[in-house]
Structure 1
Amino acid sequence: MQKLRAKGQRESIFNNEVVSRFELYNSLFLTLPFYKIKDTGTLLPLFIKYCEDGVHNQDTPNHIINAFFKKYTQNNSNKDIIDLLFRFIQYIERQVVLFDAVEDASFNKLNAADEHNALLSYLKKGVDNPELNTKIEKLIEDFSLRLVLTAHPTQFYPGSVLSIITDLTAAIRINDISTIHLLLQQLGKTPFFNKKSPTPVDEALSLAWYLENVFYFAAANIQSEVDRSLNDYNLESRKIIELGFWPGGDRDGNPNVHAESTIQVSKMLRQILFRCYYRDFRNLKRRITFRGVEDPIAIVQDVLYKNAFDPNIEMENICEALVEQLNTIKKTLIDNHDGLFSDLASDLIRKINLYGCHFASLDIRQDSRVLRDVHAYCRQSKPIISLFPENYEDLSEEEKINTLSFKSAKVIYSDPADPLTEDTLQTIAEIKQMQQSNGELACHRFIISNCQQASDILQLIELFLWNGWEEDNLSIDFVPLFETVHDLAGASKIMDTLYNHPFYKKHLESRGNKQDIMLGFSDSTKDGGYLMANWSIFNAKVALTETSDAHNIQLAFFDGRGGPPSRGGGKTHRFYASMGKEIANKNIQLTIQGQTISSQYGSIDSAEFNIEQLINAGISAGIKEKHNILLDPVHKNILDLMAEESYNSFVALRKHPLFLSYLEKFSPLTLLSKITISSRPVKRNSGEALKLEDLRAISFVTAWSQLKQNIPGFYGVGTALNTQDKNGNWDKVVKTYQESGYFKTIIDNCMMSMSKADFAVTAHFINDQEYGQFWKILYDEFELSKKMLLKLAGHETLMENYPVEKRSIAVREKIVLPLVLIQHYALEQLQNEITDEEKQSYEKLAIRTVYGIVNAGRNLA
């Protein structure tokens, strides 16, 4: 009853604080004369109503739009229609921003601190329980959280727009109408997007906005809470939060990332960080006007200023020296000035200990197939050529591993290398320089995507030894990334081979016997469907943990989670909270990307809340010794059967002859490459014809989300549940749902994905002679999945347990419905015989709708 009351209160707050205020400020917004077409803001509400009625009547987008223009406008040429539709898009894009700002302004009221500071609550419980207290102390000693920002192309807003959103949120929080009015005008006149695609360095600079304006403060605030909690119980504080960064380092399938890009981004992160330090130091200096600190103050100021603003300064890892000077200042304040303002010195010391000289660790990632080619290139050069037989490529995996010698050598390259090979060799050499300049943590991980065998790791180690690195100083962590269903199944065998390999075993010992393993949700979902992807990853984690424990290796899983549930997003913290002791969970590492960055970490308040949730999940899971119920034979068998059934259903759909052509015709898939938001191509092998295996998971998921069908987020789940029901296993399925937090989270996230689908928008497809029956296959599985999920949860509607999120989704979907119809209208026109000029206009129209739809969905791509 108490939970129901709390949900009702949150829903009431949402309606009053968010929906009502949005309607108020939106009415103000619509009266602003931003654009050339007269009365755009007046016509838009009429257009929205026309769209809603048209979808209800299952009219085609072409009919809805033409009928609207015939009724409400006088000039109905193609140019006039396109011009007004563009104005509608621009208004709606900004309505999405306004709703985001209103929602963010109410964040603290909507998110009560019921999960706040679990560490402190557990410490209190341990006071009278020595056994629990020992466990807590050990957990704190081992626990860490690493958030890694990635450059996946669904974070659209430039820094100028992000700054407006920040200011608008602050003004809405205090209902400052005049400031809101001014900011809405500024928002209306500020470009949202670049005219040309960004470089990897541009992407890094854009994403660094969040580091500078959000994470720099939020992570330090959380660390401060941790320090206070531990200090209260006489425990030594330790760093538990780490930040990672992919833009400029992730070159997997992105030919635009080069070694020079990586170096530039590393320098940029350092400079932005020192500007943050200098900003804090100025506040410190303004307060500390006492005698006795003049010399260290002058030293710190000189060092910070030069590193923040002098581009020609010789970069060194100077963190220890800075902390030493600040500790001198702090000691003087405590000893001679009653500790006045010593908290400011402590705060800056804490930040330097957190971020060092690097801000966020820059990960390097490359595909195993590229790295194999680089190894083959090096094997043709002296003196390496003498170490390998000519038929090395034809050897078995075991024979290849036995051939590897791990000898340091200065390779003399005679033949010119291709660009990818040259980039790999140059990057390997430059990592050492980045570590010397910014500290080892600046760049210490090399991620091998599409890792399929132990030799993929071992051959990369040889590349390091051949290009400037010594065995005794190999300060690199080699991180395999297992992605497909097949690769996940074989992952533990690969790691067992590595753990038993003498050289790799010795290398791990030098790295503290710690191993990071990355698991990819996105490609496993594209490969095997939603349920099989989640279940494959669960089983892989259990097997990998068992293998690592057998070798006494401290394992950390690095989860490649995207925004939507189909790529590992959704209620992420609940996955970590549901881990049993059979899955390594002391070091939580995950990617945050796309709209997840702005929706969950877009403000200091929301970032702190979501960081706390992840920490709390890790701590609560670490305290429990509970066996994971999914490993019991009955529950595991049920999930095995359902995953296999779901997999077969999804693969059958993928093999349908119309599968890819349906996406190409009805979604903006083929136009995504023209969106100027990313340096990364839509697919690998970009010069070749479109193949499903080459299509990036993010493009795959985005295409389905634009259709409002979200197939990767649910397809096959309904079939799997229905089969178990027919086979008399329903009670077992329900018991599994009720007793397993992991399975329940899978189901809850599936419901979230389905809540953002709307098959009514495409209901007219049923009349299409070629694709009508294919659309019905998708729709029938959606309806079956909805029916079975509601039956399983005992609910009447999807997301019944999350009324605020459900209401937020409904409002957002209403805002962007016109964008969806405009997109379908434009794609439909592109199927006709039209001029090149008209084709260009309709393509641009379709492309522009993508931004607002993704932004409104917050985790759709």
Structure 2
Amino acid sequence: MFTTVIDHLISTGNSTFPDNYHDLSEAEQIKILSKATDDIGDLDAFEDEMVRNTLKTIAIIKDIQKSNGERGANRYIISNNQTALNVMQLFAMLKMVAFKDKLTVDVAPLFETIPDLENAPGVMEQLYQNPEYIAHLRARGNKQHIMLGFSDGTKDGGYLMANWGIYKAKEKLTEMSRKYDITAIFFDGRGGPPARGGGKTHNFYSSLGPTIEDKEVQITIQGQTVSSNFGTHDSSQFNLEQLISSGIKNRIDGEKNRLSDADRAVMNDLAETSYQTYKDFKNHPMFIPYLERMSTLKYYAKTNIGSRPSKRGTSDKLVFSDLRAIPFVGSWSQLKQNVPGFYGVGTALKLYEDRNEWNKVEQLYTNSKFFKTLIDNSMMSLTKSFFDLTKYMSKDEEFGDFWNIIFEEYLTTKRLLLKLSGYDELMENEPTSKASIEVREHIVLPLLTIQQYALKKIQELEKAGAPNDDPDKVIYEKIVTRSLFGNINASRNSA
């Protein structure tokens, strides 16, 4: 999009950008962007609708601040941020559209994939070394907002690697920010289920230790989770107390939560093993077809769940990188398989069992509240799984073997989480939460069964060559779509 903006400005004779701008190195482009303050001109002159609307959004931020004060709209998040150039492009646009004299907007890069999380500290150091950008941060109280995406991180790297990758990224970003006298404010993009950063959120924030900045933490709360956690005075008070006390507890227990070198090595090993296992799984030739034809994935696009399309891009062919996290996680939840919340965990733990090094995992579980929280939240994902619902798929000629791969990982993970925790059953230490889950699962099971029946009928009609406007197919598709709403709301944190 920014390329389109530059091309337009060059064609209209804007002196900010030279004709060879796109041929310059990233460092040279950043240097030009740092000093860009010329007025961008008439926004309606941009032919591309997406570009025009994006630039008008910036102008509206200025209008909102004039009417309602700076706090009315003072942050701009860059989705899927990968480089310092991405940040400086927005930095320049903000100034050229509406904030030439004083930039009263915090630029928040969102790092989502595993590689981007690893590169995040280098990206931020490049920005901190930029004179114009660091001057902006000084004017904003020496604070840098950084958003980390649990949902897309899990979709990209699996449950353990995503959470561990975010943990390590926060440590390095904290160290890097403190080096330049900047306070990092982590804005965590957390969804409802553990696979999207949900679960026992207060346990997570009370376990981070002293190596991660926590003077201020901001989190997103999923829609249906807002109503369940904050919909009444009592539940709101309880959950706010949990979040606030988690920060206090983390300060008190700070050094206790510091990972030893030995525990860190085990955590790294577990995360890498689970990551490779998950990558092999999502690269399986049946992975995308299974989601397309056996799950509710494509039906999310027919609802307003998640507020965005089920995939990025306009291609008819489904590509994994185009999938959005909410439909991805939600589709596994509708199948009652909850793959993003456990897949790879069992295989990683089994490696230590097979090597007769189980004691190292037990030590990590005992020493690290962070690791224990990850295990507890994964247990929640397993508790919400119910493979009997889709057991008929195990006999499917095309997808039977793939279903069994998922089921075997579920069984392995369940067995080893029980072994590690010493429990006889999942969530044994949380009887109230478990009872709540069981009640909700019993409520949604009839509707899920109806949904599976409708999906099966659609598959049969498609195999028989029925057209898209076949009356029976239309009815069954409506059943699937409508069932999504009820299942998600009743399950509370399934998407």
What is the TM-score when the length of structure 2 is the normalising length? 0.95
Matched, 1:812 2:440: yes
Whether the 8 Å contact between 1:722 and 1:788 is mirrored in structure 2 is yes
Q: Deviations over 1:482-528 (max 9, x none)?
A: 00000000001111111111001110110010111000001111101
Q: Which residue of 2 aligns with 1:438?
A: 68
TM superposition shift of 1:653: 0.7
Aligned letter for 2:190?
R
Counterpart among 22, 44, 51 of residue 421 in structure 1: 51
> What code does the residue aligned with 2:488 have?
V
Contact 1:525 1:532 in 2 (8 A): yes
Shift of 1:756: 0.3
Per-residue CA deviations over 1:646-686 (Å, capped at 9, x if unaligned) read: 00111111010110111112111112211255652221124
Label 1:711 to 1:677 Cα distance change in 2 as closer, same or farther (>3 A): closer
CA gap of 1:757–1:778, structure 2 versus 1, over 3 A, is: same
| Alignment-derived partner of residue 750 in structure 1 | 378
Structure 2 match to 1:722? 350
Aligned match for 2:480, one of 846, 850, 857: 846
Asked which structure has the greater CA Rg, the reply is 1
Q: Any conservation in 2 of the 1:381–1:411 contact (CA below 8 Å)? A: no
Q: For 1:420, give the aligned amino acid.
A: M
**Which of 247, 267, 274 is matched with 1:646 structurally?**
274
CA distance in 2, matches of 1:378, 1:576: 46
Task: Please give the per-residue CA displacement for 1:242-281, whole angstroms capped at 9, x wherever unaligned.
Answer: xxxxxxxxxxxxxxxxxxxxxxxxxxxxxxxxxxxxxxxx
Identity of aligned residues (%): 49
1:766 to 348, 371, 394: 394
SS at match of 2:329: helix
CA contact (8 A) 1:756 1:857 kept: no
Q: Within 5 Å, give how 1:49-198 maps onto structure 2.
A: none
Output aligned runs, 1:214-253, within 5 Å: none
Cα 1:728–1:375 shift into 2, 3 Å: farther
The change in CA–CA distance for 1:701 and 1:405 in structure 2 (over 3 A counts) is closer
When residues 678 and 571 of structure 1 are mapped into structure 2, their CA distance, relative to the original with a 3 A threshold, is closer
Corresponding position: 1:460 with 2:90: yes
C-alpha contact (below 8 Å) 2:10/2:17 kept by paired residues: no
Give, in whole Å, the separation in 1 of the partners of 2:377 and 2:25. 42
Matches within 5 A, 1:3-18: none
**2:494 aligned residue:** 860
3-state SS of paired residue (2:322): coil
Does residue 547 (structure 1) correspond to residue 181 (structure 2)? The answer is no
More moved, 675-684 vs 737-746: 675-684
Amino acid at match of 1:425: L
Q: For residues 522-671 of structure 1, what are the structure 2 equivalents within 5 Å? A: 522-626=151-255, 628-630=257-259, 632-671=260-299
* Preserved contact between residue 210 and residue 258 of structure 2 (Cα < 8 Å): no
Residues 373 and 421 in structure 1, CA contact (< 8 A), matched pair in contact too: no
1:390 matched residue in structure 2: 19
Q: 1:577 to 1:625 in 2, by over 3 A?
A: closer
SS of the equivalent of 1:380 reads helix
Query: Deviations for 1:318-368, whole angstroms, at most 9, x for unmatched residues?
Result: xxxxxxxxxxxxxxxxxxxxxxxxxxxxxxxxxxxxxxxxxxxxxxxxxxx
Q: Which amino acid aligns with 2:216?
A: N
Aligned mate of 1:785, from 413, 426, 438: 413
Aligned AA (1:573):
H
CA contact (8 A) 1:383 1:411 kept: no
Instruction: Please say which of residues 741-750 and 759-768 is displaced more in the overlay.
Output: 759-768
C-alpha distance in 2 between matches for 1:526 and 1:411 = 38
Matches within 5 A, 1:310-349: none
Residue 379 (structure 1) shift: 3.8
**Given the superposition, is the C-alpha separation of residues 811 and 858 from structure 1 closer, same or farther in structure 2, using an over 3 Å criterion?**
same
Paired residue type of 2:486: G
For 2:306 and 2:264, the matched residues in 1 are separated by 41
Q: Are 1:482 and 2:482 an aligned pair? A: no
Partner AA of 2:474 in structure 1? Q
Deviation string, structure 1 residues 771-816 (Cα, Å, up to 9, x no partner): 1111110000000000111111111111011111111211221222
Shift in alpha-carbon separation, 1:840–1:781, aligned structure 2, 3 A:
same
Contact map agreement 1:378 1:411 (CA 8 A) in 2: no
SS of residue in 2 equivalent to 1:515: strand
Aligned to 2:127: 498
The whole-number CA distance in structure 1 between the counterparts of 2:45 and 2:10 is: 9
Structure 1: distance between partners of 2:307 and 2:225 = 19
Structure 1 residues 782 and 719, CA, compared in 2 at 3 Å: closer, same or farther?
A: same
2:426 counterpart SS class: coil
Q: Which amino acid aligns with 2:122?
A: K
Contact 1:582 1:627 in 2 (8 A): no
| d(CA) in 2 for partners of 1:379, 1:573 | 48
Residue 582 of structure 1 contacts residue 628 of structure 1 at CA under 8 Å; is this kept in 2? no
2:306–2:326 Cα contact (<8 Å) kept? no
In structure 2, how many angstroms separate the alpha carbons of the residues matched to 1:677 and 1:575?
A: 26
SS of 1:752's equivalent?
Answer: helix
Q: Deviations over 1:725-776 (max 9, x none)?
A: 2223211111111111111110000000110000111112111111111111
Q: Cα–Cα, structure 1 residues 686 and 597, in superposed 2: closer, same or farther, change >3 Å? A: farther
CA distance in 1, matches of 2:391, 2:98: 61
Which stretch shifts more, 648-657 or 721-730? 721-730
C-alpha distance in structure 2 between counterparts of 1:506 and 1:375, whole Å: 25
Matches within 5 A, 1:645-724: 645-677=273-305, 679-686=307-314, 688-724=316-352
Q: Is the 8 A contact 1:377 1:417 kept in 2?
A: no
Displacement of 1:608: 1.3
Superposition deviation, residue 860 in structure 1: 0.7
2:29 aligned to which of 381, 400, 405: 400
Distance 1:795 1:651 in 2: 30
- Is the contact made by 1:532 and 1:646 (CA closer than 8 Å) also made in structure 2? yes
Distance 1:378 1:801, change over 3 A: farther
* One-letter amino acid of the structure 2 residue matched with residue 795 of structure 1: Y
Q: Paired residues, what number? A: 488
Q: Is the 8 A contact 1:581 1:627 kept in 2?
A: no
CA separation of 1:675 and 1:513: change in aligned 2, threshold 3 A: same
**Contact 1:563–1:593 under 8 Å retained in 2:** yes
Question: In structure 2, how many angstroms separate the alpha carbons of the residues matched to 1:379 and 1:641?
Answer: 50
Residues 1:541 and 1:679: Cα distance change in structure 2 (over 3 Å): closer
**Equivalent AA in structure 1 for residue 316 of structure 2:** E
State the alpha-carbon separation in 1 of the partners of residues 4 and 224 from structure 2.
35
Per-residue deviation, residues 4-25 of structure 1 (Å, max 9, x unmatched): xxxxxxxxxxxxxxxxxxxxxx
Amino acid in structure 2 at the alignment position of 1:430: I
Contact preservation (8 Å) 1:629, 1:635: no
SS across alignment from 1:431: helix
Compared with structure 1, are the counterparts of its residues 623 and 383 closer, same or farther at alpha carbon in structure 2 (3 Å cutoff)?
farther
| Matched residue type, 1:844 | K
Which amino acid is the alignment partner of residue 602 of structure 1?
A: G
- Indicate the SS of the match to 1:481: strand
Change (3 A) 1:566 1:403: same
TM-fit CA distance, 1:399: 2.7
Identify if the C-alpha distance between structure 1 residues 465 and 784 changes in structure 2 by more than 3 Å, giving closer, same or farther.
Answer: same
Q: How far does residue 559 in structure 1 lie from its aligned partner after superposition? A: 0.2
Unpaired runs of at least 5, structure 1: 1-369
SS of the aligned residue for 2:147 comes to: strand
| 1:688-744 Cα distance to aligned partner (Å, 9 max, x none) | 322211111100001100000000010000000000222232111111111111111
Cα distance in 1 for partners of 2:100, 2:13 equals 16
Shift of 1:847: 1.4
